[in-house]
Amino acid sequence: MTLKVCVLGTGNWGKVHIEAYWRNPDTQLVGICGQSNRERVDRMAKQYGANGYLDFAEMLEREKPDLVSVITPDDQHFVPYKQALDAGVHCFFEKPLTMNVPEAKELVALARRQGVHCGVNFNHRYATPFLLVKQHLDAGKLGQPILFHWRFTGGHYPERQQTPMAHLLYMQSHGFNMLQTLGGEIVSIKGHAADPRSTGQLTSVTLSLKFASGAVGSFVAGVDGDYKDPDIYGFEMTGTKGRVKVDDAIRRFEFAPRPEIAQAHQEQKGAESLALVWNSHFFDDESRDFGKTTDRHIAHFVKTLLVGEPEPIPIEEGLAALEAGQKAIDAVLEV
């Protein structure tokens, strides 16, 4: 079976979705919809052999797709997401699910009432280093998680929205979802924030986390950096049997096993290092291309839809990440 697919969104990330479906043998791209630029929509529709639209509802009515991908600006998610779900088609959404929790809860409830396959594109989880983290965790090589660290300080200033710490809802939704995926429920968040420009936006934040499992974590988030700066993105996880580290999402993975946690420091001294390192190969274009993480996720999502398996990253995870981000904002503002 080949799924008929429509895409709303013709920007840079919309094109990532469009090309992923265009290359996928299990999907047929039938419709592309923009919001205002007719020339761009027609050009892209012709390029990818689809029909072009400027009206999302019209595209849904005429094309009757099996699956839609919706990529609009962060604060404009709710209306088209609801339109797609109301149409009763399977949905692949971009993060954040919305910019507020009540709207996200409404979308989750609607998706489940409609009985559609509905996922959220937390594509960082499809980067090779994080796939390796999950493999090592599932194989028991890390033991019980003890400590997590997330840091993402890319240059997203000025903020996309004017509300304080909005980046914790859109940009840092990746971090909350990653930590929830690997560490489980986050039960406590405390934090502090900086406002270097005196705008009230609070553009850099540090958080202290406590997980239901007993693990703890730190979370460093900001929009005051620059993407050309080195090492703006990092993840670490320490367990009772080892430690993993990821640099820049797609660049490097490191696993270092450790002796039993009860072993004395003196007994560990001089032990041979057994660290394992993965670096993206110079010619491995797929692993070095961040956009290809969405290809991987879409391919996985489509396969599960075709065989009737649960979504790899269901819509509920979009809500959980948003709730954690809002909880972090509330915690900082209460200080």
- 82-96, 128-142, 151-165, 299-313, range with the lowest pLDDT: 151-165
Cis check: omega of the bond before 145, within 30 degrees of 0: no
Write the pLDDT tens digit of every residue in 142-175: 999 999 999 999 888 888 888 899 999 999 999 9
Provide the pLDDT confidence category of residue 290 given band limits of 50, 70 and 90.
Answer: confident
Mean per-residue pLDDT, 280-295: 83
Of 218, 214, 193, give the one whose Cα is nearest residue 204.
193
What is the reported pLDDT for 264?
A: 52
Residue 253 is encoded by which pair of tokens? 């993975």
Q: What secondary structure letter does DSSP report for 86?
A: H
Of 220, 190, 196, 204, give the one whose Cα is nearest residue 334.
190
What is the reported pLDDT for 258?
A: 82
| CB contact burial 307-322 (16+ within 10 A = b; e otherwise) | eeeebbbbbbbbbbbb
Write the pLDDT tens digit of every residue in 85-115: 999 999 999 999 999 999 999 999 999 999 9
**Domains parsed from the chain with CATH numbers:** 3-122+292-314 (3.40.50.720), 125-289+321-334 (3.30.360.10)
**Taking a C-beta distance cutoff of 8 angstroms, is the pair 103, 42 a contact?**
no
What is the reported pLDDT for 260?
A: 64
What is the reported pLDDT for 154?
A: 87
pLDDT, the chain, mean: 93
- What's the rounded Cα separation, in Å, for the pair 178 and 191? 19
50 or 291, higher pLDDT: 50
Write the pLDDT tens digit of every residue in 196-254: 999 999 999 999 999 999 999 999 999 999 988 888 999 999 999 999 999 999 999 99
283 or 58, higher pLDDT: 58
Write the pLDDT tens digit of every residue in 35-68: 889 999 999 999 999 999 999 999 999 999 999 9
